[in-house]
Amino acid sequence: MNRFSIIGAAHLDALVEGVEECGLRAGSTPAERIRLGFGGDALNEAVTLSRLGGAVELISKVGVDNAGDMVLDFCSGAGLPIDSIAREENLSTSMNIVLIDRAGERRFITDPNSSLRALKLSDVLPQVDSLAPVVCFASLFVFPHFRAEELATLFSAIKSKGCLLAADMTRRKNGERLADLAQAWPHLDVLFANVEEAGLLTESTAVEEMAQEILEHGVKCVVIKTGARGCYVASERFTGAVPGCVSRACVDTTGAGDNFAAAFLFAHAAGRTAEDCARFANAVASICVEHLGATAHEITLDEALARCRENYGEGFLSL
């Protein structure tokens, strides 16, 4: 079951490293390094899954412009088919500016009128019949056209095909609470969120309480990412904190959560327990933060397994 369909955003990133203050002023502001990369929740997950050895389909949307051409070329080079990436005339392909400070934390400048917010139910629903066994809606709360009703419609259609369905959250945009998506949650087998995202959605302060609230709304497995500390998993078969892996250095946290989600699903598809999936995900995320950008460093399965063995012992000889 190492086939995956990932739904969500794909775009260009302008990565600006070594920026200590967000307030810009007239004239020039120096940075340590600036380079062009590729990003988006779904693109990051799809590329990571492909490099680990999965067969991956990316369902996204870009414009008919030079930036869109660059995204498609990058996807092709990463082994992703591009026939499921829609292109729309008069739509600008998104380019995010990512400001990264010396601690590796980042701030984003985005264009809400670009392809970043443009995906619609009509772009995805026609592709449901050909989805892979494992599906992830990688950009929950990114797309304004995917409100509660559209999410429930899509999630129901995906589950009717017998797929395992995951979703990866971003920060809520319109003050959404758990109850606002009551029809969507029961379709989800796995939900990924970081502490801030889960806290805003539930308005709880303890990770354990956040996870329990989400479980009570019907999600089968809740995975809350807790940064360098690792993650907290709540499911029927396993509930508890899984300590993170030691990174050599924290250069950039961009895409670490996306890499985490991709690795968790890869291990899940290989039949691992939820705890082992979390360990493998922690390992891949710890490698990601050692490099600038979410996809510039090609994380291999051997590299990820070696990081697992360093931190969790010899139980990870293969996947």
278, 284, 288, 290: CA torsion to nearest 10: 100
Rounded average pLDDT per 10-residue block, the chain, 319 residues: 92 81 66 85 96 96 96 94 94 88 77 90 95 95 93 97 96 91 97 95 93 97 95 96 91 88 97 95 95 85 95 84
The pLDDT of residue 24 is 59
Identify the H or E element spanning 109: strand 106-109
The pLDDT of residue 112 is 84
Q: How far is CA 256 from CA 6, 62, 169, 285, 291, in A?
A: 16, 23, 13, 5, 10
- Smallest CA-to-CA distance from 284 within 310, 305, 254, 253 is with 305
Domains of the chain: 3-20+33-312 (3.40.1190.20)
